[in-house]
Amino acid sequence: MTKKMKKRKEEKERTDSNIPTGLNSDYFLLRTRRLRRVGAVTFPEEGDLGQESEVVDPTTGLTLRHRTAIVRTWDLVRPDIKIHGANFFLAAEVDGHEHTDAHIQHSLRLVMMSISSMVDNLDDVSVLVEILKTTAVNHKQRGIPHNDFVSFFQLLLSPVLVKYLRDNLGAAWSPVAEEGWTQVLKVINSVIFSVYEA
């Protein structure tokens, strides 16, 4: 192991040991590992993806460029998904959505895990739709009212998630990523609401 690698490992261990267990702490938000800022690069979705790159999927409305950007950006979040779940919760509070209920905190972390599953299935639309339908059926069977579910998705998840990703990915965020995430969240909303309304 090189000196540089040892130094990184020690720094990471120091950072990890300094994270307190309480979620509602400004200290927690400040001390968590941040995504690295990157310089000027060309992202895969901006390169040549072939003739299929601009073909819009009729079910999701996503192109190959969108799917590539979504996967690329989520792969930056995935390694620290629990930390991002907690920070997403704090970002939701900062944006004026005060959810102090422990159930909501837990739900937001589960949302992050569910998003991972959805991102993993962007290329298999039938599986993606089934995941979304199952999510809706589970919530409906637990007696979560339609209006609560609608407000959670439209007022909290969609706008706050896109803003959270934009703010935390910095230069790794791209206009194509913004379009893709905005569209995929519309699809999530649409499929889940259709099950609730059925």
Q: Is residue 134 part of a domain?
A: yes
One digit per residue, pLDDT tens: the chain, 198 residues? 667 666 666 665 554 444 434 443 443 343 344 444 445 456 767 666 677 778 888 989 999 999 999 999 999 999 988 888 888 877 776 555 555 556 666 776 788 888 999 999 998 999 999 998 998 898 888 888 888 777 777 777 788 889 999 999 988 899 999 999 999 999 888 888 888 887
Domain count, the chain: 1
Q: Is residue 144 part of a domain?
A: yes
Determine the Cα–Cα distance for residues 105 and 102; give it in Å rounded to an integer. Answer: 5
Q: Is residue 11 part of a domain?
A: no
Q: Is residue 151 part of a domain?
A: yes
Determine the Cα–Cα distance for residues 109 and 104; give it in Å rounded to an integer. Answer: 9
Q: Tell me which residue range forms the domain holding 190.
A: 61-198
SS3 of 36, please? Answer: coil
Q: Is residue 46 part of a domain?
A: no
Token pair 């930056």 is found at: 76
Position 184: which residue type?
A: V
Question: Measured in Å, how far apart are the chain's first and last C-alpha atoms?
Answer: 59
Read off the CATH number of the domain in which 190 is found.
1.10.490.10
Half-sphere exposure of 96 (CA within 13 A, CB side): 2
pLDDT for residue 5 = 65
Give helix 64-77 / helix 175-197 axis angle, nearest 10°. Answer: 90
DSSP letters, 46-108, are GS---GGGGPPPTTT---HHHHHHHHHHHHHHGGGHHHHHHHHHHHHHHTT-----HHHHHHH
Q: Is residue 184 part of a domain?
A: yes
Position 150: which residue type?
A: V
Q: Is residue 32 part of a domain?
A: no
Q: Is residue 78 part of a domain?
A: yes
158 within 8 A of 185, measured Cβ to Cβ: yes
